[in-house]
Amino acid sequence: MMIIKKKYIIFLIIALLSIWILGIFLDSRKGAEIRNEYILVRNDDDIKLVVQKLKKIKGGCFISNNNTSIRLLSSQNYNYEDEYIHNNLFVGDSISKNAMSDTIYIFSKKGSMKYFVHGKVINQVKHNK
Is the pLDDT assigned to residue 63 strictly greater than 60? yes
Task: Write out pLDDT tens, residues 77-124.
Answer: 999 998 999 999 999 999 999 999 999 999 999 899 999 999 999 988
What gap in Å lies between CA 59 and CA 121, rounded to an integer? Answer: 13
Residues 48 and 8 in one domain: no
In a domain, 129, yes or no: no
pLDDT at 115: 96
Give the whole-number percent of the chain exceeding pLDDT 90.
Answer: 50
In a domain, 7, yes or no: yes
**R_g of the chain computed on alpha carbons:** 21
In a domain, 128, yes or no: no
**Greater confidence, 79 or 10?**
79
Which pTM does this prediction carry? 0.71
Is the pLDDT assigned to residue 9 strictly greater than 90? no
Residues 48 and 98 in one domain: yes
How many angstroms separate the Cα of 15 from the Cα of each of 7, 18, 28, 38, 84?
A: 12, 5, 20, 35, 36
Residue 77: enclosing H or E segment and its boundaries? strand 76-77
Q: Which domain holds residue 19?
A: 1-37
Residues 51 and 63 in one domain: yes
**Looking at beta carbons, which pairs linking 61-68 to residues 24 or more positions away fall under 8 Å?**
61/85, 61/86, 61/89, 62/34, 62/37, 62/38, 63/38, 63/89, 63/95, 64/38, 68/39
